[in-house]
A = this chain, B = another copy of it.
Amino acid sequence: MNIGVIGLGYWGPNLVRNFQSQPDAEVWMTDADPARLQAAQRRFPGVRAADSVADLLRQVDAVALATPLSTHHALGLQALEAGCHLLVEKPFTDSVAAAQELIDLARHKGRVLMVDHTFLYTGAVRKLRELQEQGELGRLLYFDSVRINLGLFQHDTNVIWDLAPHDISICDHLIGLEPLAVQASGARHYSAQEDLAYLTVFYPDQLMAHFHVNWIAPVKVRRILVGGDRRMVVYDDMEPSEKLKVYDKGVELTRPEEIWQTLVSYRTGDMHAPRLDGGEALTGMVKDFLHCIATGAEPLCGPAHALRVTRVLEAAERSLREGGRPVEIQP
Interface positions of A (Cβ within 8 A of B): 45, 141-142, 144, 146, 148, 150-151, 153, 181, 183, 185-192, 196, 198, 200, 202, 206-208, 210, 212, 214, 216-220, 225, 227, 229, 232-234, 238, 240-242, 245, 247-251, 253, 259, 262, 264, 266, 268-275, 323-326
B208 touches A185 (CB 8 A): yes
Neighbouring B residues of A218 by C-beta, 8 Å: 225, 227, 232-234, 245, 247, 249
Q: Which of B190, B227, B240, B262 interacts with A217 by CB under 8 Å?
A: B227
Q: In chain B, what residue has the closest Cβ to A322?
A: B326
A266 touches B225 (CB 8 A): no
Inter-chain CA distance A200–B326, complex, in Å, is 13
Inter-chain CA distance A133–B322, complex, in Å, is 34
Q: Which of B185, B208, B241 interacts with A187 by CB under 8 Å?
A: B208
B206 touches A220 (CB 8 A): no
Q: In chain B, what residue has the closest Cβ to A185?
A: B200
Neighbouring B residues of A266 by C-beta, 8 Å: 150-151
A272 touches B275 (CB 8 A): no
Inter-chain CA distance A190–B144, complex, in Å, is 18
Give 13 A-B contacts (CB < 8 Å), ordered by A residue. Answer: A142-B216, A151-B266, A183-B183, A188-B206, A192-B259, A196-B227, A198-B200, A218-B232, A219-B247, A248-B275, A269-B275, A270-B273, A272-B272
Q: Which of B148, B207, B225, B325 interacts with A326 by CB under 8 Å?
A: B325
Inter-chain CA distance A214–B193, complex, in Å, is 30
